[in-house]
Amino acid sequence: MSVEIAIIGDNFMRSTAFKEALQTTLKQDTTFHWMDLPFPDEPITQKSTEPDLSNIKEFQGKPSDVIALARNAQILVTHIAPITTAVLNELSHLELLAVSRGGPVNVDINTATQNNVKIVNTPGRNASAVAEFTIGALIAETRNISRGHADLMQGKWRGDLYRADAQRDELSTMTVGIIGYAEIGVKVAKLLKAFGSRILVADPYITLSDEDIAYGVEHVELESLLQQSDAVTLHARVSAQTTNMIDRKAIAMMKPGAVLVNTARGPLLDYDALYDALYSKHLSGAMLETFPLEPLPIDSKFLTLPNVTLTPHIAGASKTTVKKAANMIAEEVQLHLAGLPPNNPCN
């Protein structure tokens, strides 16, 4: 009996990448239906007030298009399509929903569970990409790479960036604080070890590995990390406890001249307080990859600051991420068809 699989990809996680991984992995006779959304050329919807969309976030596309494509599918693979109550109630044949992201926030998990639809995801698919990007962000910001580039592209030779008062220490001599020590934070620390950085970690839910202890990684309270670090990088998950955790009080604790990097999520950080700290030069710089509102508005006050590096939420984007995610999805589908437990269940 043929298994019907619907794939909704986009211009990052292309449907062809999913299809190729599935065809390589699956042993069953399979029929595919697929489509691609315009992300990232068009931004996702962060949150909607429409009743059927109000309990999901970070999605793109129309529920009606999902239903039309996947009406007879036993398996639906997607990255950011909106999987709402209405969608799940229409897809009466659906058994498995495979979501290619760290958290299936674009899915109505309660309805899926009530409808006996299993949800799986791909945690850690972009951990290496984000960790490498974080190191690049630290170097770009602390060594004035982005400012030198931007001004030179405008025909301005920034010889003043060679001045002693424009420079910071090298990573090899810096204390770097990592807030949140799950898969990405651990990989950031591993890369920092190659530079010889002193590494502090704040995360109440972890225990340091033997390798970390041997290197000298220090597990400290958040306040101590903020007070000691020359650079602080955020890698915590967003929760009720971590929302706005780097607020005005926390920023005031940071060393004068320190640098802050956020490649995690906007809600972790009080951006108004950060702006004030950068404007006053309490912090010498920041590298921001995520924001409270995306895309960043063209009138954002951060665009007026000379001491920030800004990127459009691209830290997790790499060809390696795509391959990892597609292969993880294919393995989950094969496990489901074989009647075996999933690697990464979400319900």
Distance in angstroms (rounded) separating the CA atoms of residues 330 and 18? 7
Residue identified by tokens 């459009």 is 312
SS3 27: coil
Answer yes or no: 33 catalytic. no
Nearest CA among 25, 122, 27, 126 for reference residue 77: 122
Contact (Cβ atoms closer than 8 angstroms) between residue 95 and residue 117: yes
Distance in angstroms (rounded) separating the CA atoms of residues 300 and 241? 27
Nearest CA among 111, 129, 127 for reference residue 119: 111
Residues 6+ apart with CB under 8 A from 325: 13, 100, 101, 122, 125, 126
Distance in angstroms (rounded) separating the CA atoms of residues 80 and 91? 17
Answer yes or no: 141 catalytic. no
Catalytic residue among 79, 147, 168, 313: 313
Catalytic residue among 168, 265, 289, 336: 265
Distance in angstroms (rounded) separating the CA atoms of residues 256 and 258? 6
Residues 6+ apart with CB under 8 A from 36: 8, 9, 10, 11, 14, 15
Q: How many CB atoms lie within 10 A of CB 157?
A: 9
Write the CA distances from 66 to 37, 75, 77, 144, 196, integer angstroms.
Answer: 11, 12, 11, 46, 49
Answer yes or no: 235 catalytic. no
Check the CA dihedral 78-80-81-87 and report its sign.
Answer: positive
Nearest CA among 239, 271, 277 for reference residue 259: 277
Residues carrying an active site annotation:
265, 294, 313
